[in-house]
Amino acid sequence: MGSLIERLRRVRQEALGLNRRNQELLLRLNAPRFVALVDHKVQTKEVLARHGLPVPETFGRYVRQRELSSLAREAEQRIEFVLKPARGAGGEGVVVVAGRRDGRLVKSSGALLKVNDLLAHAADIIAGAFSMSQTRDEALLEYRLTPEPGLASYSPGGIPDVRVVLAYGVPVMAMLRLPTHASDGRANLHVGGVGVGLDLASGRAIHAIWRDRPVVLHPDTQQPLSAICIPRWADILELATRSYDAVPLGYMGIDIVVDIRHGPVILELNARPGLSIQLANRRGLRRMIEAVRAQRVGDCTAAQRVALGLEIEERVRGDT
């Protein structure tokens, strides 16, 4: 009983709550102009690309309803692609087309979609149905990332991604997000994706959750989640950390896909990363963030910030 109470006390002390995240991190560390930048996917991709960071190719941008005929022609030329809102969040409004069958589009989940339904969805995007501010938006048609085989085998109906959380430009926690049938091919945890906590030094799985509860096997493939080790892990950490040099948000999440053709590619940045990553890692963010805050990282290179994150994580894990 005593050990349980001690564990609960430690979790309470180490966990980062919503109010603390908003007041101490988002409001103090994230300048509104950079938040606005990250909230617009096209502008974010342009800035990242200017800094030499890999992002999915954009095939087309559509801001008016009358441009949907151009979208139809562009989509007709491609076997696979992604349609998404420029100002969406949480994976809402994203349609991933993985092929064609019997004159219809095949979504990554296996569901069939008529072209007219795709255009109607694009019209909803432009009208602002999936915009965070519920204002008019842009529909984007872009390259569909294809995960490397090892990770793809865990989620045949979608695209898994790695989320790395940075504080002051230093990596402090990471997890793999795996789509499920319940999440309709999306990796977002709040719609039914699986979160796999990752050791920051090696990229190996250390724990996993599904719907905020511990899980050992992927709910669809029944594969053991403990066997996961992320390929190109050092490259992923470097890529995530370099994102801070392009968009200096003091607290953010970077979502990266290990593409079968291009290697690690930045899917998007998030100025308000969720807190379930703590459950996936079975530890809180507060001690890591406080340890980073105590360091002088202003003049550090991306490689030095990665090394600092690994050093701090080793120290924090050794104390628990």
pLDDT number for residue 92: 86
- Please report which helix (H) or strand (E) contains residue 210, including its range: strand 205-210
Residue 197 clears pLDDT 60, i.e. is over it: yes
Contact status, residue 281 vs residue 197, Cβ threshold 8 Å: yes
Same domain, 65 and 166: no
> Are 137 and 284 found together in one domain?
no
| pLDDT tens profile 209-221 | 999 999 999 999 9
At 11 the pLDDT is 61
Chain-centroid distance of CA 163 in Å reads 5
pLDDT band at 12 (very low <50, low <70, confident <90, very high): low
pLDDT of residue 320: 62
Task: Please state, in angstroms and rounded to a whole number, the distance separating the CA atoms of residues 282 and 251.
Answer: 20
Confidence of residue 68 (pLDDT cuts 50, 70, 90): very high
Q: Rounded to whole angstroms, how far apart are CA atoms 258 and 236?
A: 8
Question: Do 78 and 102 belong together in one domain?
Answer: yes
Q: Cα dist. 17→12, 32, 192, 231 in Å?
A: 9, 21, 21, 31
Residues 6+ apart with CB under 8 A from 178: 154, 155, 158, 160, 187, 193, 194, 195, 196, 218
Among 142, 173, 198, the domain boundary falls at 142
Helix, strand or coil, per DSSP, at residue 37 = helix
Whether the predicted pLDDT of 290 surpasses 80:
yes
Do residue 8 and residue 62 come from a single domain? no
The encoded tokens of residue 74 equal 């562009």
Final residue of a structural domain among 92, 114, 142? 142
Q: What is the DSSP letter of 144?
A: -
CA 276 from chain centre, in angstroms, equals: 13
Share of the chain above pLDDT 70, in %: 96
Evaluate whether 203 touches 233 at the Cβ level (below 8 Å).
Answer: yes
pLDDT, tens only, 120-152: 999 999 999 998 777 899 999 999 999 999 999
> Do 112 and 230 fall into the same domain?
no
The amino acid that residue 215 corresponds to is V
Mean pLDDT of the chain: 92
Percent of the chain with pLDDT over 90: 79
Q: What's 152's domain CATH number?
A: 3.30.470.20
Number of domains observed in the structure of the chain: 2
Q: Are residues 262 and 199 in the same domain?
A: yes
Mean pLDDT of 254-274: 96
Would the pLDDT of 265 be above 90?
yes
Residue 47, pLDDT > 90, answer yes
Say yes or no: 168 and 133 in one domain. no
* Res 9: pLDDT: 61
Which pLDDT belongs to residue 90?
Answer: 78
Predicted confidence at residue 157, as pLDDT, reads 74
Mean of pLDDT values over 184-193: 87
**Looking at the structure, do residues 104 and 166 belong to the same domain, yes or no?**
no
Single-letter amino acid code for the residue at 279:
L
Across the beta sheet with 263-270, the strand order is: 213-214, 205-210, 194-198, 170-178, 161-167, 251-259, 263-270
Q: Verify that 36 and 102 share a domain, yes or no.
A: no
The three-state secondary structure class of 171 is strand
Q: What 3-state DSSP class applies to 258?
A: strand
Work out the angle between the directed axes of helices 2-14 and 286-293 (0-180°, nearest 10). 50
Q: Are residues 43 and 69 in the same domain?
A: no
Interval 163-192 mean pLDDT = 92
68, 119 contact by CB (below 8 A): yes
User: Is pLDDT at 2 greater than 60 in this prediction?
Assistant: no
> Are 167 and 251 spatial neighbours (Cβ–Cβ below 8 Å)?
yes
- 164 and 285 share one domain: yes
Residues of the domain holding 98:
58-142
Q: Are 270 and 293 in contact, with CB atoms under 8 Å apart?
A: no
Band (pLDDT 50/70/90 cuts) for residue 58 is: very high
Same domain? For 208 and 313 the reply is yes
Q: How confident is the model at residue 315 (pLDDT cuts 50, 70, 90)?
A: confident
Q: Are 250 and 165 in contact (CB under 8 A)?
A: no
Q: How far apart are CA 183 and CA 98, in angstroms?
A: 16
Q: Which of 116, 142, 168 is the last residue of a domain?
A: 142
Structure-token match 């079968």, residue found: 260
pLDDT for residue 5 = 55
